[in-house]
């Protein structure tokens, strides 16, 4: 056996001399930071049931006016990372945000990238870089790094959405900050009008968009139709899944986290391979069992429920309905892993 030695094996005066110079011996901790074959993972398989969370979120609406909260959010924290660290995974932050009728969450911009997956309600909107993005269930709305954004609500019922940010990574890099701004002037046009028609794209021979993110809102009605169309066109296709991409470049919609929509056919059981990134699952429609092997845990996702699985874990998804499809939104750290050269499928 390779014994690398322990810190307590070293003389106390030697350890004291090292610490006085801000030095640390590597060998006692080498296997902790470079374990054999599989990384050490703090992320735990965790389930956040919306039925339990929603009353607490609505209570927050009674307790704290938007003027004091600025953003009224309950953070979905992974206990493996410590609740105070507000992480769902090493690079993902999750939060359920509430906006009540008549409220306006003021404009600001920040360095972390964010997206909004709309959970329920109608009549709210997000204005991003001057583009007004209506919110409907299942819509995905981007708030990329550095872009001004604000939220407003002209409807009659509460609106809730799931925030997904790369905040843990940006905070770890000591690069996380925000700037407050003035209410935005809404510009004419929206990217989803130009980019959500199959087989056609704006011609850029004469003019190119100056937008780094030409499409900010991905309407669920279009994404759902794409999944149903794939399933009908390719009935033997096992994994019916689409990736949210930048339509101009084909790259991931944002540069750190990846976002996907998955359809489980009626009664389908789908086994996902073990991959290096952690993954979040959020039920848009239907009910599904999510089994995380290794953790030996199975969660039943009802509509609007969210769960996460650590990286390097086999995950099995099962549609609980025998006659209706289930639709799952997924977020993971794949773009980051690919950029770092550590992405793996096992």
Q: How confident is the model at residue 1 (pLDDT cuts 50, 70, 90)?
A: very low
> Given phi > 0 = left and psi -120 to 50 = alpha, else beta, which region is 234?
beta
Residue spans of the domains in the chain: they are: 1-34, 35-192+202-340
**C-alpha to C-alpha distance for 164 and 293, rounded to whole angstroms:** 24
pTM, to two decimals: 0.95
Confidence check: pLDDT of 208 > 80: no
Confidence check: pLDDT of 31 > 50: yes
Confidence check: pLDDT of 14 > 80: yes
Given a contact cutoff of 8 angstroms between Cβ atoms, the answer to whether 84 and 139 are in contact is no
Given a contact cutoff of 8 angstroms between Cβ atoms, the answer to whether 152 and 118 are in contact is no
Kind plus residue range of the DSSP H or E element containing 180: strand 178-180
Please tell me the chain's helix, strand, coil percentages from 3-state DSSP, rounded to the nearest 5: 20, 35, 45
**C-alpha to C-alpha distance for 346 and 332, rounded to whole angstroms:** 16
**C-alpha to C-alpha distance for 285 and 262, rounded to whole angstroms:** 11
The dihedral of CA 5, 11, 15, 17: what is its sign? negative
> Given phi > 0 = left and psi -120 to 50 = alpha, else beta, which region is 26?
alpha
Mean pLDDT, residues 70-88 taken together: 97
The CATH number given to 35-192+202-340 is 2.60.120.10
Mean of pLDDT over the chain: 95
Surface-to-core class of residue 156, CB atoms within 10 Å of its CB (0-12 exposed, 13-18 middle, 19+ buried):
exposed
Beta-ladder partners of 125: 134, 152
Given a contact cutoff of 8 angstroms between Cβ atoms, the answer to whether 261 and 137 are in contact is no
**C-alpha to C-alpha distance for 101 and 346, rounded to whole angstroms:** 47
261, two tokens: 């929509």
Confidence check: pLDDT of 10 > 90: yes
Confidence check: pLDDT of 151 > 60: yes
Beta-ladder partners of 271: 316
DSSP states of 56-75: HHHHHHHHS-HHHHSS-EEE
Mean pLDDT, residues 240-246 taken together: 97
Of 9-18, 64-73, 139-148, 193-202, least confident by mean pLDDT is 193-202
Radius of gyration of the chain (CA): 22
Q: What's the distance, Cα to Cα, between the start and end of the chain in Å?
A: 27
pLDDT of residue 206: 64
pLDDT of residue 207: 63
**C-alpha to C-alpha distance for 293 and 297, rounded to whole angstroms:** 7
**C-alpha to C-alpha distance for 94 and 138, rounded to whole angstroms:** 16
Mean pLDDT, residues 237-259 taken together: 96
The residue ranking higher by pLDDT, 210 or 52, is: 52
**Residue 143, number of CB atoms within 10 A of its CB:** 25
167, two tokens: 């905040």
DSSP states of 23-36: ---SGGGHHHHS-S
Give the contacts of 53 (CB within 8 A, at least 6 positions apart).
Answer: 74, 96
In three-state secondary structure terms, 215 is coil
Mean pLDDT, residues 76-80 taken together: 98
């Amino acid at each position: 056996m390779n014994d690398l030695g322990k810190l307590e094996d070293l003389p106390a005066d030697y350890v004291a001399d090292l610490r006085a110079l801000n030095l640390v011996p590597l060998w006692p901790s080498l296997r902790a930071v470079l374990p054999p074959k599989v990384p050490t993972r703090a992320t735990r398989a965790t389930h956040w049931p919306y039925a339990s969370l929603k009353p607490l979120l609505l209570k927050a609406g009674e307790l704290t006016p938007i003027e004091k909260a600025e953003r009224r959010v309950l953070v979905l924290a992974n206990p493996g990372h410590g609740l105070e660290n507000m992480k769902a995974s090493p690079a993902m932050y999750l939060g359920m945000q509430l906006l009540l009728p008549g409220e306006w969450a003021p404009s600001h911009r920040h360095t972390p990238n964010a997206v909004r997956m709309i959970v329920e309600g109608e009549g709210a909107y997000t204005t991003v870089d001057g583009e007004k993005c209506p919110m409907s269930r299942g819509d995905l709305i981007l708030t990329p790094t550095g872009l001004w954004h604000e939220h407003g609500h002209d409807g009659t019922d509460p609106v809730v959405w799931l925030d997904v940010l790369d905040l843990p990574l940006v905070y770890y890099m000591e690069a996380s900050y925000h700037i407050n701004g003035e209410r935005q002037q809404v510009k004419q046009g929206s990217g989803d009008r130009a980019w959500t028609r199959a087989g056609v794209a704006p011609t850029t021979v004469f003019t190119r968009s100056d937008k780094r993110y030409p499409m900010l809102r991905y309407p669920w009605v279009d994404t759902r139709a794409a999944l149903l169309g794939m399933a009908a066109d390719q009935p033997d296709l096992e994994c019916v899944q689409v990736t949210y991409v930048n339509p101009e470049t084909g790259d991931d919609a944002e540069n750190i986290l990846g976002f996907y929509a998955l359809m489980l056919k009626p009664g389908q059981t789908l086994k996902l391979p073990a991959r290096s990134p952690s993954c979040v699952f959020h039920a848009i429609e239907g009910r599904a069992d999510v089994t995380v092997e290794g953790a030996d845990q199975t969660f039943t996702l009802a509509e609007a429920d969210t769960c996460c699985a650590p990286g390097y874990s086999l995950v099995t998804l099962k549609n609980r309905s025998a006659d209706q499809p289930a639709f799952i939104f997924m977020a993971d750290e794949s773009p980051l892993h690919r950029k770092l050269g550590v992405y793996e499928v096992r």
